[in-house]
Amino acid sequence: MLAYIRAGVPVKLYRKREFWLILLLGVLFVVTIYADFVRGGAALSVDEFQLTLFALQQVLYLSAIAIATWRFGFSLGLFFWGIMGAITIPYSVVYLSANWHPNLFLEMIIIGLVGLAEVFLINAYDVGKKRLLEYQHTLEDRVQARTIDLTKSNLALEKDIVERRRVEGELREALAQVKTLTGLLPICANCKNIRDDNGYWSSVEKYISTHSEAEFTHGICPECLEKLYPSYYGPGKKRSSGQ
Nearest to 1 by CA among 144, 120, 169: 120
Q: Which of these ranges, 19-28, 71-80, 99-108, has the smallest mean pLDDT? A: 99-108
Task: Give the containing element (helix H, strand E) for 153.
Answer: helix 102-177
Type of residue numbered 64 = A
Q: What is the DSSP string of 169-195?
A: HHHHHHHHH-----S---B-TTT--EE
Maximum average pLDDT range among 125-139, 185-199, 209-223: 125-139
H and E: helices and strands count for the chain: 10, 2
Lowest-confidence pick of 8-12, 42-46, 86-90, 212-216: 42-46
User: For residue 84, what pLDDT band results from cuts at 50, 70 and 90?
Assistant: confident
Report which of residues 142 and 45 the model is more confident about: 142
Sign of CA dihedral 55, 56, 58, 62: positive
113/104 Cα distance (integer angstroms): 14
Query: Average pLDDT over the chain, rounded to whole?
Result: 78
pLDDT range class, residue 87, cuts 50, 70, 90: confident
Return contacts of 118-127, CB within 8 angstroms, 24+ apart.
Answer: 118/62, 118/65, 118/66, 118/69, 118/77, 119/65, 119/69, 119/74, 119/77, 119/78, 119/81, 120/74, 122/66, 122/69, 122/70, 122/77, 123/69, 123/73, 123/74, 123/77, 126/70, 126/73
1-21, pLDDT tens digit by residue? 455 545 555 556 667 788 888
Distance (Å, whole) CA 30 – CA 23: 11
Higher pLDDT, 151 or 237: 151
Q: Alpha-carbon distance 50 to 106, whole Å? A: 18
- Is a pLDDT exceeding 80 seen at residue 225? no
Confidence of residue 239 (pLDDT cuts 50, 70, 90): very low
Task: Return the percentage of the chain with pLDDT > 90, whole number.
Answer: 3
Task: State yes or no: pLDDT of 55 exceeds 70.
Answer: yes
pTM, rounded to two decimals: 0.46
Q: CA 135: distance to chain centroid?
A: 10
Helix 17-33 / helix 48-72 crossing angle, nearest 10 deg: 160
**How far is Cα 219 from Cα 5, in angstroms, rounded to an integer?**
119
Q: Where are the beta strands (DSSP E) in the chain?
A: 194-195, 201-202
